[in-house]
Amino acid sequence: MTNAELQQLVEKISTQSFHKPFLHKAYFNPRLRTTGGRYMLRSHDIDINRKYLDEHGMEELIGIIKHELCHYHLHIEGKGYKHGDQDFKRLLQKVGGPRHCASLPSEKQRKRVVLYSCSKCGWKFERKRKINTSKYVCGRCSGKLRLEKEMVFEKR
Catalytic residues: 68
Alpha-carbon gap, residue 20 to 7, rounded angstroms: 15
In DSSP terms, which residues pair with 111 in a beta bridge?
Answer: 153
Alpha-carbon gap, residue 138 to 118, rounded angstroms: 6
Bridge pairing between strands 26-28 and 46-48: parallel
Alpha-carbon gap, residue 84 to 61, rounded angstroms: 22
- Amino acid identity at 27: Y
